[in-house]
Structure 1
Amino acid sequence: MISTYRRALGLPGALAFSASGLVARLPISMVTLGIVLLVSTRTGSYSLAGSVSAAYLVPNAVCAVPLARLVDRRGQSRVLLPAVLVFGLGLSLMMTAVELGWPTPVPHLFAAVSGAAMPQIGSCVRARWSRIVPDKRLLQTAFAIEAVADETVFIVGPALVTLLATLLHPLAGLGCAVVAALAGTAALVAQKATEPPPSGAGHGGRQAGPIGWWVIGPLTACAFTLGILFGGAEVATVAFAEELGRKPLSGFLLGVWALGSLLAGLVVGAVRLRAGSAARFRWGLLSLALLMTPLPFVQSLWLMTVLLFLAGFAISPTLIASVAWVEETVPSSRITEGIAITTTGLAAGVAPGAAVVGVVIDAYGASVSYWVPAAAGFVGAAVAFTAWPWQRGRTAARPVAPSGSPG
């Protein structure tokens, strides 16, 4: 395992851009929670906090793919730095508006600006891996590294923003998110050697080519169901812990879930799997749905901890396979856009999943609400097993990179 990861991280520039990307995407797991903590503390209204958070999330989902497409065409260094500056400015103005009590919809407008400009760092880092990895079998390890980084973000980020906002100052958590985004993105774009060349006219002249919607479309639909599963399970877990009188332990439960995913990601990155990306994605998604099925029947906090830990083992392998499948399908000049499409599909499912689970909790209780993420997993698995019956054996027509460019 160590030698496999050493090979990947030993590639020129790999450790530096992967570490920079990890810091730069910490805000993914910090901003929405930080908004809720700040607004609810300053106004006492969770409905207002939820609406400001939604004002951030919706433009983020809408603008993610166009921004990723712009990165592919113009280059990471020309797009990411201006975008993160707008993100930081918008979030800072939102914080100021809440702190000074500016009326609605001023905080919502600033939150929307920030969400629209949030850079797609995860996609950009994976595009760099796709560019520098000479052996495509090693690319699985590279994507596993980023899956582990994602899980690290979702373990560290929520705990960090909560501690800073509750123990230091309500603004401190979001302030830390702004600093992480600016510092990490600046460090990433400073690394020119591993940056994929832009594909736009006058910037290398590579033809973009078709993006492969016969795969990307259904894959994005599956990602949407995964978003419902993740968003719903998070709310259900908080409500479950609260019903048992142990709400402060909800973060621990979710952290254990993420820890299981992180460990699975480490294992997947270290072994050589014979199954293709499509098969791994299908079976991974079905396994996740099956592992979520016992949760509605659990009444013990510690049994829930064990089952969430086990369910986490299906997350990273599924996500790693989905990214690998995208990388195999889309042209190299549109890799950032392709990954962003599926990740945006996942993000778009989080809010509906949380909302539906919230309704079920109010009507039937926390345990029953776990059927929502389980059902979403089975719907996604059904799509995964039925959407590509004629795609077997078909390979994506990826254009050959011009002479002199890696990959």
Structure 2
Amino acid sequence: MSYVRLLRTQGAAGFFITTVLGRLGIAMYGLSIILTAATTYGDYVRAGLVGGAFAGAEAVGGPIFGRFADRHGQRRTLAPAAALHLVAVSGLAFALLAGAPVALAVATAAVGGASVPQLGALAAARWSHLLRGDPRLETALSLEAVANDVAFIAGPLAVAAVVSLLGPAHAAAIACLLVVVAALVLAVQDLDVGARAPGPRVGRELIGPGLANLLLGLLFGTAQLAVTALARERGAEGLAGLYYLTMSLGSLAASAVYGLIRWRGPVWYRVVGAVFLVSAGAVAVLTVGGFAALFVLGLGVGPLIVVTGTLVERRAGPGRLTQAFALMSALSAAGIALAGPVGGAAVQAWLA
């Protein structure tokens, strides 16, 4: 299989497996922090403030972390970031367990979020370093998309399992352990990237991929609201999670298949095809609903993530890759944040 041969590339399997485990921890943070804060404060308003501070600070701090990694090298950047992150998340845990004022919890959550090592961006930069100019690079980015889908499917499930056995604070602690250990292992692996030819800050050449990631984030956030509304309309709120899981599985399957195909022709052809699938799935969700429509929507999402990553890699060039990929993640997070007011209004209009 192409993915097996790809992982036999020198150094690839080590950093890929390491970042997958770390990304599982990152995927556990959102739910575990909100649940811990809700247990402490007894309401979801203050819990939302704490969780929002963590997520918002990560979106802001991610590109800054990427810039440092490009300029000073991943190895020199990861250890200090991991240490700061461990201290900040430990401080957040103590603040929540001690019932500290919400302002203190928000402050420590912001530091914790801003210091999250951007493991996905680091992995993408390493793939580019290993495979620059090699057509297998798009296969590697597909593998990265699959890894992200798996992490963000498994993360909430892992939180649910740990919470039922030990409690939400333990879930946050396990998440932090996974992230910090992954960062430190990545720092001591042989392959290092960055600190060679740092380029200027990313700019207009990434407007297209950046807009695509912003819209993808808006789609993810709106989809969460839409599937919840759809489940409630059908009198089965418990189906909301299964609806969203169906879209994620469609994305995972499409990303996996996409990476096994040797594509020819301009990458924009594939962008158009992915946008068409996303649009068809969105229309089907709004008009027909159901699992099949959400699966089709996911089939477009996976390839769209991969092709935008391909465009970023080609346009950013050496010396800016980590910050470029981290910026794309930040824009996706911004889109998810915008989905609250914008997507909520759209879903409410749809229901009316």
TM category (shorter chain) comes to over 0.9
1:159/1:251 contact within 8 Å kept: no
Where does 1:281-296 land on structure 2 (aligned, <5 Å)?
281-296=271-286
Higher Cα radius of gyration: 1
Structure 2 spans left out of the alignment, 5+ residues: none
1:195 maps to 192
Q: CA deviation at 1:358?
A: 3.6
Q: Report the alpha carbon displacement of residue 179 of structure 1 after superposing the two structures with TM.
A: 1.2
Counterpart check, 1:368 vs 2:351: yes
What letter corresponds to residue 196 of structure 1 in structure 2? Answer: V
Maintained 8 Å contact 2:25/2:155: yes
TM-score, normalised to structure 1, is 0.81
2:45 aligned with 1:47: yes
2:227 equivalent in structure 1 = 237
Q: What is the alpha-carbon distance in structure 2 between the residues aligned to residue 58 and residue 28 of structure 1?
A: 14
Number of aligned residue pairs: give it.
Answer: 352
Name the TM-score, length of structure 2 as normaliser.
Answer: 0.93
Distance 1:251 1:41 in 2: 22
Residue 91 of structure 2, aligned match among 90, 93, 101: 93
Over aligned residues, Cα RMSD in angstroms? 2.0
Equivalent residue number for residue 321 of structure 2: 335
Matches within 5 A, 1:370-385: none
Matched, 1:269 2:255: no
Instruction: Give the deviation of 1:243 after TM superposition.
Output: 4.4
Tell me the amino acid that sits aligned with residue 338 of structure 1.
Answer: A
Q: Do the aligned partners of residues 239 and 94 (structure 1) sit closer, same or farther apart at CA in structure 2, a change above 3 Å counting?
A: farther
- Does the Cα contact within 8 Å between 2:28 and 2:159 map onto a contact in 1? yes
Percent identity reads: 30
What is the CA–CA distance in structure 1 between the aligned matches of 2:46 and 2:220, rounded to whole Å? 23
Q: Name the CA distance, whole Å, in 2 between partners of 1:295 and 1:271.
A: 28
Q: Within 1, Cα distance between the matches of 2:201 and 2:108?
A: 36
Instruction: Report what 1:110 is aligned to.
Output: 108
The Cα shift of 1:297 comes to 3.1
**1:254 and 2:237 are equivalent in the alignment:** no
8 A Cα contact 2:24 2:175, kept in partner: yes
Give CA deviations for 1:61-85 in whole Å, capped at 9, x if unaligned: 1121111010001111111222122
Equivalent in the alignment of 1:128: 126
On the 8 A contact 1:264/1:316 being kept in 2, the answer is yes
Map of 2:301 onto structure 1: 315
Deviation at 1:17, TM superposition (A): 0.6
CA contact (8 A) 2:198 2:320 kept: no
Q: Which of 71, 74, 95 lines up with 1:73 in the alignment? A: 71
Farther-moved stretch of structure 1 (100-109 vs 164-173)? 164-173
Amino acid at match of 1:233: A
The answer to whether structure 1 residue 182 and structure 2 residue 180 are counterparts is yes
Q: Specify the alignment match of 1:208 in structure 2.
A: 199
Greater RCO (CA < 8 Å, at least 6 residues apart):
2
Question: 275-284 or 13-22, which moves further after superposition?
Answer: 275-284
Q: Which structure carries more helix by proportion?
A: 2
Q: Which amino acid aligns with 1:293?
A: V
Structure 1: runs of 5 or more not aligned: 200-205, 370-407
SS of 2:101's equivalent? coil
Which residue number in structure 2 is paired with residue 278 of structure 1? 268
